[in-house]
Structure 1
Amino acid sequence: MKLKKLAKVLLVSTLAVGLLTGCSSGSKDDKTIKVGASPTPHAEILEAAKPLLEKEGYKLEVSTYDDYVLPNDALADGSLDANYFQHIPYLEETVKEKGYDLTYCAKVHIEPMGIYSNSIKKLDEVKNGDKVAVPNDSTNEARALKLLAKQGLIEVKDGELITVKDITKNPKNLKFVEVDAAQVPSTLDDVAIAVINTNYALNVGLNPTKDALAIESSDSPYVNIVAIRTEEKDNDKIKALTKALNSDEVKKFIEEKYDGSIVPAF
């Protein structure tokens, strides 16, 4: 009888230790916010928010990604608590395509897409048959084509997710090179002009307000947002992340760090 009683005591003690350990681990996880981000400017902006989150008792862990696919995959499978690299149309397209239950909790900044060149100084120098590099993902390609159309280089159909197949007029017979958004800067020596997302332009030392031949207007609808799983929208740490990224301190950091090439959206 004593052995049985001792076994029961040991079992209860083991369970209690397990529960306490589990609670401790869960508490630690609840105070750690894992965010995936593009290196520039997103990860830099997150670094500016870190001290604010630390004051609220949270540890911010930032993982950087050089593509536009993996961060949403990692968010959907629970590897990340949030990601910060994309605009609303891209998130909506990903949700539609993959069926992920994702939404966003904060609008942070706008990155005006620009047209760049290593060979010409003005867009009227573009010649017949020149090559033009554009991103190959649906939302950013549409965005690039609309910018080119606004500059009078082409005409396109109305619509959100237009592609090169929707070009209705191409008076200079431009040849379009469609590549991954992160790789567009690497094409600059091989094309006449390239339409580059600001984060990738900054990565290679290009300043949109100084180096671009043309950029999107400041009222661009492509606001960069913090994406989260829909079920987590009322989570305390998500609320803390939103508060930090929409703070006066982060706004001041964006304005001073990027000197107008990136604009706060809050």
Structure 2
Amino acid sequence: MMSFPIPVVAWKPDIGPGSQPLEDEILNTLDVQSDVYTFRPPLTELNAPPEVVAAAMDFLRLLLASLRATPFSVSQPLRFSLLPLEPAVRDEINELLGVGEVSVQTGGDLRAQETAFTGIWRIRGDGVDDVEAGAFPSALRNLALARAFPSAAPVEPPLDLMNAPALYHEIRTLSAQWTAGRAAHVINLSLLPATPDDLAWLDEQLGRISFSILSRGFGNCRITATALPYVWWVQYFNNMEKLILNSVEIIDVPAVALAAVEDYEETTIRLAEWIESLESAL
């Protein structure tokens, strides 16, 4: 066995444990997010008329049976239109499903809100009032994938920039070559040397469209679609609204906004328990 000599150092009063004063000591920690989303059953009083509650419960049972019978699929989610139902029944379904951690907004009237049951979404818009079970609302995913690559040539960057021109060239090239279904390419700008001017110019060149996702699964994650196909800003903020992670992702839809197969399985169990709890309260 190789010997590993430990040098003997003479004791000095100004080094080592106990050598420094502890009074008014300030512990500096990372500005990470401490709030983590955990499942909470929706709050409901079941105050609607009995026939409205009964119709809403029938839909929940139909949804549960469909979840049990249908494997998780990204490309072929379960979808139910609530338009044939009375508005009061739709409102009761909304209350019984609750509100979850992910919301999606667009420049038009099409929008989505994940329910308290991960992977079950409420999608609304002009002539649309759906409940969908899947990784991400398919209509909104298709809208995000419909972005066209800009025909204009890239502009010449200012001479005083540091890394932004190279980053933009990399991102633009990947966007032009990208195809749906590929694994994400992530550029963590928080770990790269970049000046405020770099980031401002990069933001300006990438552009932003009216398509944003807010995920509260772990803290506050804001996802914004850029004008380039498949390119997204993914930014995490702490409780003080301070940016703690700034990245660009090239992907269909960033993974932080998606429900996974494990979520689908867990939601099936929780929805069954929730229906049983509601039935016992009626």
TM-score using structure 2 length: 0.26
| RCO higher in structure (CA 8 A, sep ≥6) | 1
Structure number with larger C-alpha Rg:
2
Give the helix-richer structure, 1 or 2.
Answer: 1
Give me the TM-score of the superposition, normalised by structure 1: 0.27
